[in-house]
């Protein structure tokens, strides 16, 4: 069964989402490791093929007496050594599966000499290669001092994730699902690239966008990451992921941007609040523990926060879902969408999000053939209602972003900020229409 997986190393399954913290099991938990796979059967029988000796008299002209001749005269007799070598070679070729061994033995017998010098492997020190501009090596070298491992413990267990240094005095960006285990008196510890460690406190978090900021205590002189522009990314562009998968700190993997604005829903709480974002999709290998780490461009600039993966889930003997690893479908929160939320958290504010003020449901095919998000209710005074949208309308596009369903609409709207103006394309009674509106804010609901 497939599942969206958040990429920190612990946390519970929520809705159809499996968080990707690699949780440290308690002593009471049974051993759920899978039994070793069986050995493959040995490959088939003996190599080569045996043939029976020929039967009957040889066919062909009678043998010549005397030395053989050609149009150019008699053929000189070959020396016994040459006949022996030729015979060995023919014999080796006829052995079939053993021909390689026969050939090697022939070469040794003819060419080995007691006077040949003995050679051994040489050690060559080529030095550390200089990183070429735009290479994975150069990009990783630039960002590595700005990436940390975050260890988290609390009443529910322990685990780890990754983070990005935002300031020299210890502000660090990560995912909300990395820090949530420390809620209610847990502990956060940061491990830096130089091997030093520090305690940290939660500054604030936003579960709707899966973002959090922590502050390391008693540190200075850290190297803040350089932030790029996720809006400048192109599909096919090279990217690099850095983090601590399965606790292996400072791990670097590379790939490309596979898609942009990919709607991803990773959680939904009992009140119906959805954690969703329009993600950068990449095939760079990211795994449990990468959560909160940077996705960078080939200049070493942060363009996303690695947050979730799609994986092939499986069950163990106890009926529990087993964490899966990378299958080349990783998702990062675009840095341009993240930073307005992060700045609000750093300033001590409650994060706000853009909204249309409607409730919607998926529509795959209706009488009009439209696919999108169908309005179930448009609140009075909402941005949607003020723009003339009403119950039954099917929203198919926000600006140039196609809307395939309710999750897609939520993730796309959340990539904007309150007050942004957008163009909404919708279908009503079989007719396609457009309207422009100014997005509202959820600040009044906080």
Question: SS3 string of the chain?
Answer: CEEEEECCEECCEECCEEECECCCCCCCCCCCCCCCCCCCCCCCCCCCCCCCCCCCCCCCCCCCCCCCEECCEECCCCCHHHHHHHHHHHHHHHCHHHHHHHHHHHHHHHHCCCCCCCCCCCCCCCCCCCCCCCCHHHHHHHHHHHEEEEEEEECCEEEEEEEEECCCCCEEEECHHHHHHHCCCCEEEEECCCCCEEEEEEEEEECCCCEEEEEECCCCCCCCCCECCHHHCCCCCEEEEEECHHHCCCEEEEEEEEEEEEEEEEEECCCCCEEEEEEEEECCCCCCCCCCCEEEECCCCEEEEEEEEEEECEECCCCCEECCCCCCCEEEEEHHHHHHHHHHHHCCCCCCCEECCEEEEEECCCCCCCCEEEEEEECCCCHHHHCCCCCCCEEEEECCEECCCHHHHHHHHHCCCCCCEEEEEEEECCEEEEEEEECEECHHHC
Question: Band of the pLDDT at 192, cuts 50, 70, 90?
Answer: very high
Q: Which residue has the higher pLDDT, 6 or 234?
A: 234
Q: Name the pTM for this structure.
A: 0.72
Question: Which pLDDT tens digit goes with each residue over 374-396?
Answer: 999 999 999 999 999 999 999 99
The reply to whether 121 belongs to the active site is no
CATH 2.40.10.10 fits 136-216, yes or no: yes
pLDDT of residue 279: 97
CATH superfamily of 354-445: PDZ domain (2.30.42.10)
Weakest-pLDDT range from 96-110, 144-158, 275-289, 326-340: 96-110
| Dist CA 128 CA 145 (whole Å) | 19
Q: Does position 230 have pLDDT exceeding 90, yes or no?
A: yes
Residue matched to tokens 């440290």: 24
Catalytic residue among 291, 307, 308, 415: 291
CATH of domain 2-8+226-314+323-340: 2.40.10.10
Task: List pLDDT tens digits, range 275-302.
Answer: 999 999 999 999 999 999 999 999 999 9
111 carries an active-site annotation? no
Task: Among 70-84, 96-110, 273-287, name the one with the lowest average pLDDT.
Answer: 96-110
Catalytic residue among 206, 210, 283, 407: 210
- pLDDT for 312 equals 73
Q: Where exactly are the structural domains of the chain?
A: 2-8+226-314+323-340, 136-216, 354-445
Residue 291 known to be catalytic:
yes
| 136-216 has the same fold as 2-8+226-314+323-340 | yes
The residue from 177, 244, 249, 337 that is catalytic is 177
């Amino acid at each position: 069964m497939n599942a969206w997986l958040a990429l920190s190393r612990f946390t519970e399954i929520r809705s159809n989402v499996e968080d990707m913290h690699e949780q440290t099991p308690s002593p009471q938990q049974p051993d759920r490791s899978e039994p070793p796979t069986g050995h493959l059967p040995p490959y088939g029988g003996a190599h080569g093929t045996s043939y029976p000796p020929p039967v009957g008299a040889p066919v062909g002209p009678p043998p010549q007496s005397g030395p053989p001749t050609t149009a150019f005269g008699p053929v000189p007799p070959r020396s016994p050594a040459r006949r022996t070598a030729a015979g060995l070679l023919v014999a080796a070729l006829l052995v079939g599966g053993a021909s390689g061994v026969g050939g090697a033995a022939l070469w040794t017998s003819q060419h080995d000499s007691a006077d040949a010098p003995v050679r051994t492997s040489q050690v060559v020190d080529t030095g550390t290669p200089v990183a070429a501009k735009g290479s994975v090596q150069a990009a990783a070298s630039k960002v590595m001092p700005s990436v940390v491992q975050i260890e988290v413990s609390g009443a529910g267990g322990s685990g780890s994730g990754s983070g990005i240094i935002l300031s020299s005095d210890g502000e660090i960006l990560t995912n909300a699902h990395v820090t949530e285990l420390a809620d209610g008196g847990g502990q956060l510890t940061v491990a830096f690239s130089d091997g030093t460690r520090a305690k940290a406190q939660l500054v604030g978090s936003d579960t709707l966008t899966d973002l959090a900021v922590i502050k390391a205590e008693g540190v200075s002189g850290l190297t803040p990451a350089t932030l790029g522009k996720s809006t400048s990314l192109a599909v096919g562009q090279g990217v690099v992921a850095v983090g601590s998968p399965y606790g292996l700190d400072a791990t670097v993997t590379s790939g490309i941007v596979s898609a942009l604005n990919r709607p991803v829903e990773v959680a939904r709480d009992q009140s119906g609040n959805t954690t969703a974002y329009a993600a950068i999709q990449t095939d760079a290998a990211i795994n449990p523990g990468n959560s909160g780490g940077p996705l960078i461009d080939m200049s070493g600039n942060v363009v996303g926060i690695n947050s979730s993966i799609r994986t092939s889930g499986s069950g163990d003997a106890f009926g529990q879902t087993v964490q899966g690893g990378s299958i080349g479908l990783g998702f990062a929160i675009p840095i341009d969408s993240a930073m307005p939320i992060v700045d609000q958290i750093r300033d001590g504010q409650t994060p706000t999000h853009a909204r249309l003020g409607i409730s919607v449901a998926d529509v795959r095919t209706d009488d009009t053939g439209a696919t999108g998000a169908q309005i179930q209710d448009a609140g009075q005074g909402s941005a949607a209602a003020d723009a003339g949208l009403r119950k039954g309308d099917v929203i198919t596009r926000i600006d140039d972003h196609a809307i395939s369903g309710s999750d897609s609409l939520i993730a796309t709207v959340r990539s904007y900020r309150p007050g942004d103006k957008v163009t909404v394309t919708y279908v009503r009674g079989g007719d396609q229409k457009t309207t422009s509106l100014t997005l509202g804010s959820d600040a009044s609901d906080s």
